[in-house]
Amino acid sequence: MARPHIEPYVELDAPFKKFDLNGFKGSHYKVLSLDTDTGACTLKVRFDGGFKRKAGMSYSDMEFFVLNGGVKVGNEVWGEGHYAFVPAGQHLGAMSVPKGAEALVMFNDSEPSFVESDRNHQLALTESFNSFNAYNDAPWGPGNLVSPSVATGVGIKILHYDVLTQAITFLYYMSPEFQQNNISYHDCAEESYHIWGASWMMQFGDLPTGGYFWRPPYIDHGAFKCKLGCIAVGRTDSKLHNYFHFNPWANPDENKMRAAAHLYRQRPQLYEWAASDGHNHPHGPPDFEHQHYHDDAQVRHLHNHAPVGVKEGTQKAPKKKSRR
Ligand SMILES: [Fe+2]
């Protein structure tokens, strides 16, 4: 069971709850989305002034985006707009929040966890760690970084890119008076949090400041409008391909069929092979370049699979083998 469709959701008026978990005491949280099977979730967290915790790591990949305030992490100060991708098992330095801060905190593989440690887990994929200010230290690119492209008037900054699944985390804006008159859907789940500003969608209406959605694959969204501009954090769980059309009555099953028809026309040999009988690769076919990709946490997560050799649903094993 993946995360359910939540759209639109505006978190600003929802109350925070006390975060009574080791490593998070002294903070409060709101759940924006949750996979009830794995515990993977996106939270808005309020760190109260005086929050402190020792150096440590999580068993899940974690993404952290500072919405306001400042967080001291080791020798760094993460101010407004700071983004970090922290792979499972990578330790962060001691954290302190002198005056309070709010952040989006995403645990992509499993429930929030914290283990005190001053070193990395031996299997941590530390090369995927990234920490920088998304407002100041990354350039805007055009919306057509993803092609087929959204209409002119969207800018994108890539914050994180998973080389195996092509999942991306990004900052995006819609310019004032942005309009796009077609309908889109994707093969990936798509997530967004509006840091500032409102946009409008034909199916779901206005998404204001504090607006959020977790949208499973193949759900129609658009046409779009944005009167005064907006800026948001977006994320996908795999490759973002824009399928466009103009049929407001299309449902997800029809959209899936249409996506498969694209594959049939454009990659016919692959379609024929994948659709034919006689394969037995429940964890994915062999890949001579990435021999251990079956055991990558993100890939397993997308297919609801336990690691190879582990009975499904019985154990969470750490990731192993570098993906580069
Ligand atoms: Fe989309």
Token pair of 54 as six digits: 């020792």
What are 116-152's pLDDT values in tens digits? 999 999 999 999 999 999 999 999 999 998 899 999 9
- Give residue 122 CA to ligand 1 midpoint distance, Å: 37
Q: Give the distance (Å) from ligand 1 centre to CA of residue 318.
A: 31
Kindly list the structural domains of the chain, giving each domain's residue range(s) and its CATH number in brackets, ordered by start. Answer: 6-133 (2.60.120.10), 141-266 (2.60.120.10), 277-324 (no CATH)
Q: What is the mean pLDDT of residues 88-114?
A: 97
Is 125:296 a contact under the CB 8 Å cutoff? no
What is the Å distance from ligand 1's center to 92 Cα? 32
**What pLDDT is stored for residue 319 in this prediction?**
46
Host H or E run for residue 115? strand 115-116
Name the pLDDT band for 1 (thresholds 50, 70, 90): low
CA separation for the pair 105, 217 (Å, rounded) = 22
Rounded to the nearest whole angstrom, what is the distance from the C-alpha of residue 246 to the centroid of ligand 1?
15
* Separation of CA 243 and ligand 1 centre (Å): 9
Look at the pTM and tell me if it is higher than 0.85. yes
278 — pLDDT class (breaks 50, 70, 90): confident
**All residues with CB under 5 Å from ion ligand 1:** 190
Give residue 221 CA to ligand 1 midpoint distance, Å: 7
Residue 119 structure tokens: 């070193």
pLDDT of 174: 98
Radius of gyration of the chain (CA): 20
Q: Which of 39-43, 64-68, 137-141, 300-304 bottoms out in mean pLDDT, i.e. has the lowest?
A: 300-304
- Residue type (1 letter), 159: L
pLDDT at residue 287 greater than cutoff 50: yes
Looking at residue 322, its pLDDT comes to 47
- The per-residue pLDDT for 135 is 97
Q: What's the pLDDT tens digit per position in 70-79?
A: 999 999 999 9
CA 2–ligand 1 middle distance (angstroms): 18
pLDDT given for residue 305 in this prediction: 66
Which of 81-90, 102-111, 223-232, 275-284 bottoms out in mean pLDDT, i.e. has the lowest?
Answer: 275-284
Query: For residue 188, which of 147, 142, 235, 222 has the smallest C-alpha distance?
Result: 235
8 Å CB contact between 212 and 32: yes
Please say whether the beta carbons of 92 and 57 come within 8 A. yes
